[in-house]
């Protein structure tokens, strides 16, 4: 079977809502899948859930277990509402593919944790749910991340040389001598949003606060000198790294605009260096950070290639769409985690099935 209808569910580290897509996926060749995106929606977290998610790494075991259950209930409720709004027939859906919410990501220690219990989603929606896409790759020695590049390869490979997603972290995928390569580049929306919250804003719309700030060149040098940027891929970042290495360099109680301006410049420099280093002539940019006009302006200062324009729906929903593809690959008994990307000892079929 080479045709599937999947609901993709993506909740990123920037906590700007859970993205839902419903799409058809059809394999058309060894190197290509085609898709039709039927519907999409972002479901905003409740204030209670959002507060708990911001503090998730500090919760007790029982509190985290409760949040895991409550988030599963929330995800299921969002999906049921989405299905009703779009008059989707449940029996035609092959599966829900849920990324979950990453709380801990420590592949060097052999584990990664995403919450939003997929068993709860399966029971409350009545639809087979595939979750926990990262663990198997980690057990085979991989980073468990990034997972989106296989979708870049199968769905968009003819459109660009490289693919940048600017979410909580910025990551990139590209091909090197026919082999897919990918890794996290640097922090992105997470530190920018954290700084914006110091001004009682959820995020810095269009980068307006950053645009009003002045560069702190001493801080910029410190950020660009972090050891992570000297490492070769495969590599990935987690919130633990932010807390230990990145956030201690910033001031969250003053000079917010200047800090934002400097963080934006840092991101732009890192993106530009990666694209130049890998001789990428055309790049596609998606994720929430793609709408930060000041960040994109600064990126163009360090990258002389072509930025491929995409529509707003794809900017917002590409990751959820690709998680739907990961579900299709799983159902088709094909690898959906590439060892060339994650560093695992072999390609694996990630994802655990939960039946209603």
- Please write the tens of the pLDDT for every residue from 165-190: 999 999 999 999 889 999 999 999 99
Position 1 pLDDT exceeds 80: no
Position 253 pLDDT exceeds 80: no
- 85 and 227 assigned to the same domain: no
Provide the pLDDT for residue 283: 97
For residues 307 and 333, give the distance between their C-alpha atoms in angstroms, rounded to a whole number: 35
The predicted model gives 276-281 an average pLDDT of 96
Under 8 Å CB-to-CB from 298, ≥6 apart: which residues? 264, 265, 267, 268
- 105 and 251 assigned to the same domain: no
- Please write the tens of the pLDDT for every residue from 322-337: 999 999 999 999 999 9
- 139 and 176 assigned to the same domain: no
Helix (H) or strand (E) holding 302: helix 293-302
The predicted model gives 55-72 an average pLDDT of 97
- 123 and 223 assigned to the same domain: no
- 163 and 304 assigned to the same domain: yes
Provide the pLDDT for residue 15: 87
The predicted model gives 100-110 an average pLDDT of 94
Domain span including residue 267: 149-313
Name the band, by pLDDT with cuts 50, 70 and 90, for residue 155: very high
Residue 278 lies in a domain: yes
Give the CATH number, domain containing residue 217.
3.30.420.40
The whole-chain average pLDDT of the chain stands at: 95
- 197 and 270 assigned to the same domain: yes
- 116 and 172 assigned to the same domain: no
Length of the chain (residues): 356
- 239 and 126 assigned to the same domain: no
- 258 and 172 assigned to the same domain: yes
Q: What is the CA radius of gyration of the chain?
A: 19
- 48 and 104 assigned to the same domain: yes
The predicted model gives 211-230 an average pLDDT of 97
Name the band, by pLDDT with cuts 50, 70 and 90, for residue 122: very high
The predicted model gives 145-150 an average pLDDT of 91
Name the band, by pLDDT with cuts 50, 70 and 90, for residue 236: confident
CA–CA distances in Å: residue 268 to residues 185, 186, 189, 271, 281:
11, 10, 12, 5, 17
């Amino acid at each position: 079977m080479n045709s599937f209808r999947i609901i993709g569910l993506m909740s990123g580290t920037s906590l700007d809502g859970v993205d839902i897509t419903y799409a058809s996926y059809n394999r058309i060749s060894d190197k290509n899948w085609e898709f039709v995106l039927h519907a999409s929606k972002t479901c905003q977290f409740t204030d209670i859930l959002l507060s708990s998610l911001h503090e998730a790494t500090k919760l007790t075991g029982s509190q985290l277990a409760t949040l895991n259950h409550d988030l599963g209930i929330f995800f299921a409720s969002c999906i049921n509402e989405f299905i009703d709004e779009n008059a989707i027939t449940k029996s035609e859906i092959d599966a829900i593919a849920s990324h979950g919410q990453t709380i801990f990501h420590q592949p060097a220690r052999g584990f990664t944790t995403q919450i939003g219990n997929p068993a709860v989603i399966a029971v409350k929606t009545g639809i087979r749910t595939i979750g926990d896409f990262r663990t198997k790759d980690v057990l085979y020695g991989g980073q468990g991340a990034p997972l989106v590049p296989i979708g870049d390869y199968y769905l968009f490979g003819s459109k660009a040389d490289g693919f940048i997603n600017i979410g909580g972290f910025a990551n990139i995928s590209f091909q090197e001598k026919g082999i897919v390569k990918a890794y996290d580049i640097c922090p992105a929306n997470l530190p920018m949003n954290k700084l914006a919250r110091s001004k009682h804003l959820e995020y810095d719309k269009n980068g307006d606060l950053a645009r009003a700030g002045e560069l702190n060149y001493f801080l910029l040098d410190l950020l660009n000198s972090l050891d992570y940027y000297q490492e070769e891929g495969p590599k990935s970042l987690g919130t633990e790294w932010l807390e230990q290495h990145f956030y201690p360099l910033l001031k969250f109680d003053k000079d917010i605009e200047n800090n934002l301006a400097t963080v934006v410049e840092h991101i732009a420099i890192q993106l530009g260096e990666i694209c130049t280093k890998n001789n990428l002539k055309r790049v596609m940019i998606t994720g929430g950070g793609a709408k930060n006009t000041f960040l994109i302006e600064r990126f163009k200062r360090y990258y002389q290639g072509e930025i491929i324009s995409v529509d707003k729906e794809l900017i917002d929903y590409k990751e959820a769409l690709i998680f739907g593809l990961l579900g299709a690959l799983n159902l088709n008994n094909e690898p959906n985690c590439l060892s060339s990307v994650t560093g695992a000892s072999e390609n694996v079929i990630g994802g655990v099935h939960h039946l209603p």
